[in-house]
Chain A
């Protein structure tokens, strides 16, 4: 039933698009068929897979970097009150600094290269991971930690089997919110300072007023995001929360 609803919602969207395009008859809104044709051309020429691959790599690396660093800082801040107080102002600054500012500064300081791009994206994301994970670290159940202590579990076992599972819901929330933010920032980073990737391509299309190209890339990108959600995040979440049954 819900699958049927999802499919009919998709069909309704395409129909609406077709209808609007026919009514407007304007080059700024090509009909779906033209966009799909364009999509196939771009795929056949390998241009799209190449740029998509590069963008996805940047997304993946900066996502992992932001999650790892954000988790460590979040746990530390949730644990040590003084560190929390000390870093709190930095965190507020990090949460509120515009993405554009970090991107420009990273390019200026580290040069127009991939590492600057990835660092810029990660810096934008780390504060939100920290805030979420810190909440989780504060909610750790001391009674379960006592079980680990009284049975003399090793540090690693305590961390992986007793501590980390308590953080899972928070890490999942951070990952979800993280991916959707990182997709968007990576495109801006590419537009501003890289000569490949989807963000760069969109800028090229913009300059040639190639609306079909822009829409084709957008569609593929949206498709990839949906796939990542369905094939990676949701199964992972299902596995981690199996015990809630």
Chain B
């Protein structure tokens, strides 16, 4: 179970004045839950993940995670793949693991259709393949907690959909608790068990929404689009910051009304 209770997180901006990034932010996630945090750009999403991941410890408040497995750190996927260019695909995954996990890492990479490039360097791979390596790295230790910071931005839609499907499949197998940050509402609705909406900075939770749609689902599924349309209608003010991030033209559609009922 993950419990986040941040009273205040500030950091100095360029002028040296302190800027409040997060205030009164309370979120918790059940063990094994897939939780998406959605918020406009600059609302402190990345800051929050850095705090949960332990990259930044300077804040008022506390973050607790009861890790039954114990030991290893969380899995983490950044906005960019952030692979070590001087290590091969397999070595990049093993970097965060132990040599004993070699077999598991190979199996994982093969399952993600990277078996052909185990010994290639990341610089030779496409953007989508690099994300897959980063995803394998995040899962190799069977992390109890997985933190994801808009990991699929700047990918073309089919590649991103494929990666989302892989992520959900891995998550269902590992039963990790996932904290997934995005500014793309459809992505959140397609992935999450529950979506928390953050306000503009200083970020705090303004709406929580359980998503009960059956899996597997994709961002372009009629049900997802319908749910998005419904949300936009109910909370136009809340989501104004987010519409810019999603493709507005995709939103209204005829099928939406059917699933609404």
Q: Which residues of A contact B (CB under 8 A)?
A: 143-144, 146-147, 149-153, 157, 161-162, 165, 168, 240, 242-245
Contact = CB atoms under 8 A, between A and B. Distances in A.
Contact of A245 (B78, B124, B147): B124
B80 interface: yes
Nearest to A164: B86
A147 B73 contact: no
Contact of A162 (B55, B78, B84): B84
A113 to B, nearest CB: 42
The main secondary structure of chain B at its interface with chain A is: loop
Interface string B62-106: 000000000011101010101011110000000110000000000
B53 interface: yes
Interface of B: 53-55, 72-74, 76, 78, 80, 82, 84-87, 95-96, 121, 123-124, 147
Nearest to B75: A151
B95 A161 contact: yes
Contacts of B95: 151, 153, 157, 161-162
Contacts of A143: 78, 80, 82
A162 B86 CA distance: 9
B54 A161 contact: no
A243 B121 contact: yes
Nearest to B140: A151
A157 B87 CA distance: 13
23 contacts: A143-B82, A144-B84, A146-B55, A147-B76, A147-B78, A147-B84, A147-B96, A149-B55, A150-B73, A150-B74, A150-B76, A151-B95, A153-B95, A161-B84, A161-B87, A165-B84, A165-B86, A168-B86, A240-B86, A243-B85, A243-B121, A244-B123, A245-B121
Closest A-B pairs by Cβ, 9 of them: A152-B73, A151-B96, A243-B121, A165-B86, A150-B76, A243-B86, A150-B53, A147-B82, A151-B73
Contacts of B82: 143-144, 146-147
B170 to A, nearest CB: 17
B93 to A, nearest CB: 11
Contacts of A240: 86
Task: Give chain A's interface secondary structure class.
Answer: helix
A153 B124 CA distance: 26
Contacts of B53: 150
Contacts of A161: 84, 87, 95
B45 to A, nearest CB: 16
Name, among A146, A147, A152, A244, the residue most crowded by chain B CB atoms within 10 Å (CB to CB).
A147
Contacts of A144: 82, 84
A245 B86 CA distance: 10
A146 B86 CA distance: 17
Nearest to B52: A150
Nearest to B143: A151
Of the candidates B72, B87, B96, the one having the most CB atoms from chain A within 10 angstroms of its own CB is B96
Nearest to A147: B82
A150 B55 contact: yes
B233 to A, nearest CB: 39
